[in-house]
Amino acid sequence: MTRVYVTRCLPEDSARLLQKDGINVVMRSTDDAIPRQELLDNIPGCDALICMLTDKVDKDVLDAAGKHDTKLNHLTSPSLKVIATVSVGFDHIDLDECKKRNIVVSNTPRVSTDAVAELTVALLLATSRRLMECANAVKNGDWKSWGLLWMCGTELRGSTVGIFGLGRIGIAIATRLQCFGVKQFYYTDIVEVPQVEIEDLLKSCDFIIINCALTPETAGLFNEKAFAKMKNNCVLVNAARGGVINQKDLYQALVSGAIKGAGLDVTDPEPMAKDDPLLTLNNCVVLPHIGSNTMETRTEMASLAVNNVLAVLDGKPLLTPVPR
């Protein structure tokens, strides 16, 4: 019997796809992050793992996936063949360790592009037009009268927008922003050939949107040095991975006025602590990593992960292998 372990409760349609003869599906019944020990306890003997971006799949988990040879008392030939993450990002999976064990890994690109682009534009506007601050002012009774200069924000019309990491999502965001009258787009990437160097993007843009993957090269890239180069009116938006920004440095930059505002859909760690200093700032909007949270997209992501697993169990190649 093939064993598939799923770390969260999948939407009904996707879960149904897994109901096949010869497949024993063990799926958690809740939508909370699996405790690490629970993953370690359940992974032994699995052929496939469907996981989320909250599940760290490292050497220890992969070692635990091995079959325990009681005679030799060590781990031999792991049964785990495939890991399908229900996310575009795969920084939570140790790809080198997977490769050593011939475990193939898939993610869910493309299906979430529109949802993430939409949310990123919403977050940019919420930050630049101070929507949370304004809504809170109404709730708190601070709306005394219409004000000529009260709660003024900045607009996209005539601005220069920088996109750091121009993958599918970056392109989808740029496409949506075009109709706001943006004067110029800059993009840079540390993987692809950049249009401009990162230095130029930092010093020229009124809005900077981070869209890159979290890698050793991008970790903490947006730090004190980067903020010092940015324009004082710059609004920074991050819907990629929290680790790309040094949050202590961001706090200083927002307090000192080195940059104007920040919209974060992702933080490091997640969830962000309730007493994180960034949450005390009016010029910082923090969302709980909801980039791809639409029913349509989440359902497609889950189905794609399931279909990746089914393909491998059927001896076929992955539909969407992670790029290596």
Distances 173 to 179, 214, 249, 301 between C-alpha atoms, Å = 11, 19, 26, 20
Annotated catalytic residues are 289
104 pairs with which residues across the strands? 82
Contacts (CB under 6 A) with ligand DGY, residues 38-77: 53
Q: Mark the segment that binds ligand DGY (CB under 6 A) among 62-70, 84-92, 225-233, 273-281.
A: 84-92
Q: Does 218 bind ligand DGY (CB under 6 A)?
A: no
Element (H, E) at 63: helix 59-65
Q: Which of 14, 106, 128, 292 binds ligand DGY (CB under 6 A)?
A: 292
Dihedrals phi, psi of 312, to nearest 5 degrees: -65, -40
Give the count of residues interacting with ligand DGY (CB under 6 A).
8
Residue 280 tokens read as 């005390």
Q: Which of 53, 43, 119 is nearest to 81 (CA)?
A: 43
4 pairs with which residues across the strands? 25, 48
The least distance separating ligand DGY from the CB of residue 185, rounded to whole angstroms, comes to 23
The least distance separating ligand DGY from the CB of residue 175, rounded to whole angstroms, comes to 19
Residue 269, preceding bond cis, omega within 30 degrees? Answer: yes
Q: Which of 324, 271, 320, 311 is nearest to 96 (CA)?
A: 324
Q: Identify which of residues 129 and 289 has a Cβ nearer to ligand DGY in the complex.
A: 289
Dist CA 187 CA 185 (whole Å): 7
Q: Identify which of residues 111 and 311 has a Cβ nearer to ligand DGY in the complex.
A: 111
Q: Which of 45, 89, 277, 321 binds ligand DGY (CB under 6 A)?
A: 89
Q: Which of 112, 120, 128, 246 binds ligand DGY (CB under 6 A)?
A: 112
Q: Does 220 bind ligand DGY (CB under 6 A)?
A: no
Q: Mark the segment that binds ligand DGY (CB under 6 A) among 63-71, 142-150, 196-204, 288-296.
A: 288-296
Q: Does 258 bind ligand DGY (CB under 6 A)?
A: no
Residue 193 tokens read as 């050939």
Q: Mark the segment that binds ligand DGY (CB under 6 A) among 34-42, 83-91, 126-134, 228-236.
A: 83-91
Binding mask 125-154 for ligand DGY (x = CB under 6 A): ------------------------------
Q: Does 87 bind ligand DGY (CB under 6 A)?
A: yes
Q: Does 167 bind ligand DGY (CB under 6 A)?
A: no
Q: Which of 6, 57, 88, 236 binds ligand DGY (CB under 6 A)?
A: 88
Is the Cβ–Cβ distance between 104 and 321 less than 8 Å?
yes
Residue 321, preceding bond cis, omega within 30 degrees? Answer: no
Query: What residue type is assigned to position 79 of the chain?
Result: S
Checking DSSP bridges between strand 67-69 and strand 74-76, what pairing results, if any? Answer: antiparallel
User: Would you tell me which residues interact with ligand DGY (CB under 6 A)?
Assistant: 53, 87-89, 112, 289, 291-292
